[in-house]
């Protein structure tokens, strides 16, 4: 426990029993996050081995949509099973899914494992953040949240390295088995450091938004099914069907007693809806990183590890933008909020041209240019994102602050899943699988990145009325 008369220090959080508990919670986030980057790095090797290139995007789509479902059930899991057993359940489901992936003889088997991974990983992620409020004294909460958030940064370094090593050894299955070993260690830590009766105040009044979840899952699946065809009419049907089901989610949610979004969350024109919509569009832009390792390996001939670290440049750009734009004066903040989506859109459009080029005589120059534009995609999002969130917090309806905050994660994950499914449609229709290979990949990368560039472009126009309403505060 900390001395209430003194401000808490990192030592209070990271020493003694608190230190072991911190390691358990940070491990939960790290396990989920590192797995994301491992899979992105080894996936090109997976499809080379077991096939299923047309389902490439489904690996992320099903994982993310299952993560939404898993994280949504966090309060219920804590209330019904207690914190320790909820953690062990999440680790068990995640490890089972990982074992299925490691032993997958076909892509359908792999997709089943990825779904189980997402379900367990989403629950594990939600539990890690919720447990910080249960296990630590309130003065330690900000430092605990900072520690958990930092695990995503660590994942960008560890994930591509682990995945790249096993992929280059032609042993991608061992990448999954190594994750299970970490999961077993985490389970032992949870069992010994989290008390059996550790729980939160009763959550009996919490209702899981089942209808919204069902329609969200259906929306993503319809778009994903549309991606399996190279015929334009089925692609259009998939997109229109997915958008229609997304509208149904909004209609159900606005009438629900347990909404996913706060009041005004679906209203545009500078209101909360514009901010959530801009977040969604910026998140869709980030789905480019799903395909980046594959394109770089096939078109540029990069090794799995190098291709994986190129993908990390987008995340590095996001972090750099967030840090460099923090604590800026209001007028500068307004300009950054408007400039961010434009920077991302221009970077994606530039990548559409340069990533499809194969110039062995200018390999170093091309690598620097690609790295710059990949960094630019994340940078644009990073200089907008924190100010967008801050403005959203300020405008959240009184009494619905928690709903507004949790909706950020839901919108972000749903947009990633929807964007991955949309990416599957664009790439498959542009030659990703037929003719495939170098020519198909060059065509697919141009089409995908140009389409994704439209998302932050639209975000640029949506953010303008939001910024305009902030102007008097400048």
Per-residue pLDDT at 6: 62
> Please, which residues have CB within 8 angstroms of residue 367's CB and are 6 or more apart in sequence?
300
Q: List the structure tokens of 79.
A: 């209330």
Per-residue pLDDT at 2: 46
pLDDT in tens, the chain (474 residues): 445 566 677 788 878 888 888 888 888 888 988 898 899 899 999 999 999 998 998 999 999 899 988 888 888 888 888 889 999 999 999 999 999 999 999 999 999 999 999 999 989 988 887 788 788 877 877 778 778 877 877 788 888 889 999 999 999 999 999 999 999 999 999 998 887 666 655 545 557 788 888 999 899 899 988 888 878 888 889 999 999 999 999 999 888 888 888 888 888 876 888 899 998 999 999 899 889 999 999 999 999 989 888 888 888 888 788 777 766 777 877 888 889 999 999 999 999 999 999 888 888 999 999 999 999 999 999 888 878 877 887 788 887 776 776 777 788 888 988 999 999 999 988 998 888 888 999 999 999 999 999 999 999 999 888 888 775 544
Helix (H) or strand (E) run with residue 144 in it = helix 141-168
- What is the model's pTM? 0.82
CB–CB of 34/87 below 8 Å?
no
**Gap between the Cα atoms of 396 and 412, Å rounded:** 17
Per-residue pLDDT at 1: 45
> Please, which residues have CB within 8 angstroms of residue 19's CB and are 6 or more apart in sequence?
13
Location of structure tokens 């999954």? 176
Per-residue pLDDT at 71: 84
Q: List the structure tokens of 417.
A: 């899943």
Per-residue pLDDT at 204: 52
**Gap between the Cα atoms of 329 and 382, Å rounded:** 17
């Amino acid at each position: 426990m900390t001395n209430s008369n003194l401000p808490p220090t990192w030592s209070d959080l990271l020493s003694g029993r608190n230190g072991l508990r911190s390691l358990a919670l940070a491990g939960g986030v790290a396990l989920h996050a590192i797995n994301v980057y491992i899979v992105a790095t080894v996936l090109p090797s997976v499809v080379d081995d077991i096939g299923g290139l047309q389902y490439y995007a489904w690996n992320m789509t099903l994982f993310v949509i299952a993560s939404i479902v898993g994280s949504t059930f966090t309060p219920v899991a804590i209330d019904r099973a207690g914190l320790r057993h909820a953690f062990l359940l999440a680790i068990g489901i995640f490890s089972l899914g990982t074992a299925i992936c490691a032993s997958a003889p076909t892509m359908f088997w792999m997709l089943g494992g990825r779904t189980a991974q997402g379900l367990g990983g989403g629950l594990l992620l939600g539990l890690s953040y919720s447990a910080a409020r249960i296990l630590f004294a309130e003065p330690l909460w900000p430092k605990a949240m900072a520690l958990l958030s930092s695990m995503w940064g660590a994942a960008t370094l560890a994930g591509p390295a682990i995945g790249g090593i096993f992929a280059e050894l032609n042993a991608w299955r061992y990448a999954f088995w190594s994750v299970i070993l970490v999961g077993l260690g985490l389970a032992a830590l949870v069992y010994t450091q989290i008390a059996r009766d550790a729980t939160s105040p009763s959550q009996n009044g919490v209702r899981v938004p089942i209808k919204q979840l069902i329609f969200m899952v259906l929306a993503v699946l319809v778009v994903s099914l549309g991606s399996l065809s190279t015929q334009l009419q089925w692609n259009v049907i998939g997109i229109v069907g997915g958008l229609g089901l997304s509208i149904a989610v909004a209609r159900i949610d606005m009438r629900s007693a347990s909404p996913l979004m706060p009041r005004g969350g679906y209203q545009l024109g500078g209101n909360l809806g514009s901010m959530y919509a801009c977040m969604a569009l910026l998140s869709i832009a980030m789905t480019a990183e799903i395909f980046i390792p594959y394109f770089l390996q096939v078109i540029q001939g990069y090794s799995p590890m190098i291709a994986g670290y190129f993908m990390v440049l987008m995340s590095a750009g996001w972090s750099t933008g967030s840090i460099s734009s923090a604590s800026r004066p209001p007028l500068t903040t307004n300009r950054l909020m408007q400039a961010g989506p434009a920077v991302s859109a221009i970077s994606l459009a530039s990548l559409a041209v340069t990533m499809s080029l194969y110039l062995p005589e200018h390999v170093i120059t091309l690598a620097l240019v690609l790295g710059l534009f990949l960094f630019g995609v994340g940078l644009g999002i990073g200089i907008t994102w924190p100010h967008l969130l801050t403005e959203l917090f300020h405008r959240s309806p009184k009494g619905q602050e928690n709903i507004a905050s949790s909706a950020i994660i839901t919108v972000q994950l749903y947009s990633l899943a929807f964007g991955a499914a949309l990416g599957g449609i664009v790439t498959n229709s542009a030659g990703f699988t037929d003719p495939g290979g170098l020519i198909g990949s060059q065509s697919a990368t141009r089409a995908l990145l140009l389409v994704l560039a439209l998302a932050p472009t639209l975000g640029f126009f949506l953010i303008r009325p939001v910024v305009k309403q902030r102007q008097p505060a400048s």
